[in-house]
Structure 1
Amino acid sequence: MTDTRTDLVSRLRDVTTATLTTVLLKRGHRNVWMRGTRPLRSNQKRIVGPAFTLRFIPFREDLATPEAWSAPISTRTAVEAMPNGCVAVVDAMGCTDAGIFGDILCARMVQRGVAALVSDGVMRDAEGVGKTALQVWCQGVAAPPAVSSLTFVHWDQPIGCGGVAVFPGDLIVADGDGAIVIPSALAADIVDEAVEQERAEEWILAEVNRGTPLSGLYPMNEQTRARYLKFAGKA
């Protein structure tokens, strides 16, 4: 990643997906939260990284076979193309009856420095995947392999994941509320606003915990904003 992209990633790690969806909504981007992307484990940390996309389509008997695992176009080949720090985003068409990846592929992704895996599908080998320490956002788990329901067709191309368009290089942010997409061209424009909104809402929450009524506080009226700006050293 470039220095600019690295700085964006670092700053966005302090911003929740809830805040980011609000900031993006103000810019007219409503469809950024990928449906079905839940943390596979409860202790996962917030992750941020550029999208590396993978795509499945409905299975076809002559293509979705165990032999496909060693084909030039395969999930195995795609894993070897994943760059350090990326977030693998997998379009599984919302399929929940076949696991797209298992413990072996996830272990290799960890070795390659992949930040996380996000999918609208499900995983298999849940216990083994947990041992790899790869952070995963998906719809859950299923025992059957992907080839029982899906055909892998390519990587590093535009996809749809959880009803959201994802292009290679878009920034992905995932936390306890799920995974969202920030279009790459927008990331630098919204980061300051997002960081500031996060700070302001932390101050508002502190005020609520002190017993301050919501009227005029959330959203802030002029008097409250003046008080916040003084607190933040911006008055």
Structure 2
Amino acid sequence: MNYLTQAQLDELKQFDSPTVYNAVDRFHLRPATQGFTRPGLTLRVPLEEPMVGYAVTARVSSMHPNPNAADNLVRYYESVARVPAPTVAVIQDMDTEPIGSFWGEVQATSHMALGCIGTITQGGVRDLNEAGPLGFYFFSTQVMVARGYTHVDAWDCPVEVCGLTIHPGDLIHADKHGAVVIPSEIADQVAGACRAAQQAELAVLTPCREAIRTGIRVTAEQLGQWRREMNQKR
């Protein structure tokens, strides 16, 4: 697998996730209804810069004890360590109703030491006051107080979070809007496509902003024309 350089990853942080979605859509590699999280994923810590990194994955449960919990956790850590940093831990809670959080201050700190910058989890997080200052991204569907019998059941496997299937090694871009998977075959072109997508929108934004500034009301026909120009450039 070809990984982007840190400079290329940093360049992607200049754009929000909706812009990245628009940029990826320009390549027509997948339907416009795929490749992103559905509603329900929330950024729980006050980190404004987008999170960009490569997925490491696991499935967890907290309802019942697992006698192999300690060994499984170490093997999961080994899978995280094998992937070049920065990584994003994508965790699917397999309990019908999540009852315990895999994530807290200890796991966040441990993962950062392994080169991980944050998590996206279909499940809970806790210790929010500690994760924020640490600089570790917590994207989750829930906030929890307890850990239950939390343990890793599987790792280095496909997982699903808010309707998005994520595979180990997928390039993730996430911010307060949600998460997008960037296809590897176009990853090095997405930053340029983001700039092109932003430029295309100026066909609508520039005249509308001028109309707002001058107090001149635009017509529906004008908006239709500007949108056609925008879509031609997309």
With the length of structure 1 as denominator, give the TM-score of the two structures. Answer: 0.75
Tell me how far apart the structure 1 counterparts of residues 225 and 52 of structure 2 sit (CA, whole Å): 34
Structure 1 distance, partners of 2:121, 2:41, is 6
Unaligned runs of 5+ in 2: 213-217
SS of the aligned residue for 1:217 comes to helix
* Structure 1 contact 15–198 (Cα < 8 Å) conserved: no
**Total equivalences in the alignment:** 216
Q: Secondary structure at the match of 1:44?
A: coil
Paired with 1:79 and 1:169, the residues of 2 have a C-alpha distance of: 15
Q: Spell out structure 1 runs of 4+ moving beyond 6 A.
A: none
Q: Distance in 2 between matches of 1:218 and 1:180?
A: 25
3-state SS in 1 of match to 2:71: coil
Alpha-carbon separation, structure 1, partners of 2:97 and 2:48: 23
Query: For the Cα contact (< 8 Å) 2:17–2:179, is it kept in 1?
Result: yes
Which residue in 1 is equivalent to 2:89? 88
Alignment counterpart, residue 52 of structure 1, candidates 41, 53, 56: 56
- Give the C-alpha shift of residue 45 in structure 1: 1.5
Q: Secondary structure at the match of 2:60?
A: strand
Q: C-alpha separation between the residues in 1 aligned to 2:87 and 2:156? A: 11
Please state whether the residue corresponding to 2:185 is helix, strand or coil.
coil
* Structure 1 pair 206–68 and aligned structure 2 pair: CA distance change class (3 A): farther
SS in 2 for 1:154: strand
Alignment of 1:211-230 (within 5 A): 211=211, 213=218, 214-220=223-229
Aligned AA for 1:34? T
More displaced, 120-129 or 210-219? 210-219
Q: Using structure 2 for the length normalisation, give the TM-score.
A: 0.75
Structure 1 range deviating more: 22-31 or 109-118 = 22-31
* Higher-strand-fraction structure: 2
- For residue 178 of structure 1, what is the aligned residue in structure 2? 178
Match of 1:33 among 20, 32, 36: 36
CA RMSD, Structure 1 to Structure 2 (Å): 3.1
Unaligned runs of 5+ in 1: 226-235
How far apart in 2 are the matches of 1:158 and 1:56?
A: 13
On the 8 A contact 1:33/1:180 being kept in 2, the answer is yes
Superposed, 1:55-204 pairs within 5 Å as: 55-56=59-60, 59=63, 61=64, 64-65=65-66, 68-69=68-69, 71-74=70-73, 77-79=75-77, 81-82=80-81, 83-93=84-94, 95-147=97-149, 151-188=151-188, 190-201=190-201, 204=204
Moved more, 200-209 or 94-103: 200-209
C-alpha distance in structure 2 between counterparts of 1:167 and 1:114, whole Å:
16
Q: What SS class does the counterpart of residue 152 from structure 1 fall into?
A: strand
Greater displacement, 127-136 / 24-33: 24-33
Q: Deviation at 1:7?
A: 5.1
Identity of matched residues, %: 21
> For the structure 1 residues 143 and 110, does the alpha-carbon distance in structure 2 shift closer, same or farther, using more than 3 Å as the test?
same
Query: What is the CA-CA distance between 1:86 and the residue it aligns to?
Result: 0.9
